[in-house]
């Protein structure tokens, strides 16, 4: 089952496989991928795709399909204030829900979890029903206890929750299946915004300035970059005050973005896209010495209230501003001369967006639509569109 496992956690991967399949065979967990992984042996761990030794991500070979297998890569955010800022990774015991839990009780558990993560949303019941339909891995019209245990473990993970919420959106990879807290998602053909990714060991020895130059060398043509950028702006729209609240991008970097052979943007890694309410609870009132203590991921920052030595709750920079910062060099390099000045002006206006600004939502929508219109007008009559 292991065709090209990463040598630095080969034993851990074998343990994961044995652990998951033992839980499946003893009736503790179940899911749409369990039978293929553990009984039929038609789901294989293929090439290692991880760029860091603490991640477990593989090419998945499932019959004649290819996907990406993620093996409990994510560390759950805990809201117990007073502990360390970074989330802790724990062994999933699959101890919830317990035997005797009715479907109605499980729905109440899921509703309570969503209320904690997403806040008071009028349509949370719809999301609960959506989760139950996903949890029904064998599509027999009912959710068994083993299926519920898998679903509960997966719902602790930001990426899984976001994939379900955005399952019909163009720029979100499709969920192919799951077993316990292991899940298989659609494979993205190009797994870097710049079209090149290097083994993590090489990244350690490449100076950041030279890496930035390399990034610019290995990019698609400008019209194709513009199409990818439009896709990223559309994804920002998808998670900005969507049907289940606002999600914040806390690691806006090129390595988390990819695209397919038609140059449609696809998210590669959504682990650090978190519900705004969830993140505010994590950061607010946390002890701080400076603003550096009030950061989650790399990009979600609040201020340190020096008079109280506590972090404030309001995130400083919206998703769109961080996205435009990422796209600035990407789009300006090679941009047609007739739109270069206007494009630069719009990008800098976008980067200057602040969450606390008056009428931020109106400015957000205006800037985003202006950028999309400028780019689309330039490429709409080209083959690359």
Tokens of 67: 């996907």
Q: Please answer whether residues 307 and 280 qualify as being in contact, where contact means their C-beta atoms are separated by less than 8 angstroms.
A: no
Distance of alpha carbon 52 from the chain centroid: 17
Distance CA 128, CA 134 (A): 10
Flag whether pLDDT at 36 surpasses 70: yes
Q: CA-CA distance, 23 to 2, in Å (whole number)?
A: 19
**pLDDT at residue number 344:** 97
Helix, coil or strand: residue 293: helix
Lowest mean pLDDT among 97-101, 198-202, 378-382: 198-202
**Residues 40/31, Cβ–Cβ less than 8 Å:** no
More reliable by pLDDT, 139 or 382:
139
pLDDT at 321: 96
Query: Which tens digits make up the pLDDT trace of 124-174?
Result: 999 999 999 999 999 999 999 999 999 999 999 989 999 999 999 999 999
Lowest mean pLDDT among 74-83, 250-259, 299-308, 364-373: 74-83
What helix, strand, coil percent values describe the chain, rounded to 5? 45, 15, 45
Predicted confidence band at 341 (pLDDT cuts at 50, 70, 90)? very high
Q: At what angle do helices 360-379 and 319-332 cross, to 10 degrees?
A: 30
For the full predicted model, state whether its pTM sits above 0.75: yes
What pLDDT score does 87 carry?
A: 41
Distance CA 363, CA 372 (A): 14
């Amino acid at each position: 089952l292991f065709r090209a496992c990463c040598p630095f956690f080969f034993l851990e991967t074998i343990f994961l496989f044995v652990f998951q399949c033992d839980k499946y065979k003893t009736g503790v967990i179940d899911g749409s991928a369990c039978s293929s992984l553990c009984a039929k042996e038609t789901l294989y761990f293929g090439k290692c795709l991880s760029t860091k030794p603490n991640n477990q991500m593989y090419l998945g070979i499932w019959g004649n399909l290819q996907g990406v297998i993620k093996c409990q890569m994510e560390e759950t955010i805990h809201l117990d204030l007073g502990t360390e800022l970074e989330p802790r990774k724990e062994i999933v015991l699959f101890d919830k829900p317990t035997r005797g839990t009715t479907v109605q009780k499980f729905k109440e558990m899921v509703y309570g979890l969503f209320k904690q993560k997403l806040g008071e949303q009028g349509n949370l019941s719809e999301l609960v029903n959506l989760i139950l339909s996903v949890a029904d891995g064998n599509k027999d019209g009912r959710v068994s206890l083993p299926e519920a245990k898998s679903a509960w473990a997966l719902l602790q993970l930001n990426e899984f929750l976001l994939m379900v919420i955005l399952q019909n959106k163009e720029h979100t990879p499709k969920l192919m299946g799951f077993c316990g807290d292991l899940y298989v998602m659609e494979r993205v053909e190009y797994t870097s915004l710049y079209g090149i990714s290097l083994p993590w060991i090489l990244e350690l020895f490449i100076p950041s300035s030279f890496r930035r130059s390399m990034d610019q060398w290995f990019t698609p043509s400008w019209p194709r970059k513009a199409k990818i950028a439009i896709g990223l702006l559309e994804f920002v729209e998808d998670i900005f005050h969507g049907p289940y609240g606002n999600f914040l991008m806390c690691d806006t970097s090129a390595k988390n973005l990819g695209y397919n052979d038609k140059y449609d943007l696809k998210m590669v890694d959504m682990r650090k896209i978190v519900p705004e309410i969830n993140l505010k609870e994590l950061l607010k009132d946390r002890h701080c010495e400076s603003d550096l203590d009030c950061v989650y991921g790399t990009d979600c920052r609040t201020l340190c209230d020096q008079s109280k030595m506590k972090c404030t709750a309001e995130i400083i920079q919206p998703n769109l501003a961080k996205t435009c910062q990422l796209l600035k060099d990407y789009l300006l390099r090679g941009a047609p001369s007739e739109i270069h000045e206007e494009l630069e002006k719009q990008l800098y206006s976008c980067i200057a967006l602040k969450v606390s600004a008056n009428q931020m939502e109106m400015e957000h929508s205006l800037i985003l639509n202006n950028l999309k219109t400028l780019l689309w007008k330039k490429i709409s009559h080209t083959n690359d569109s």
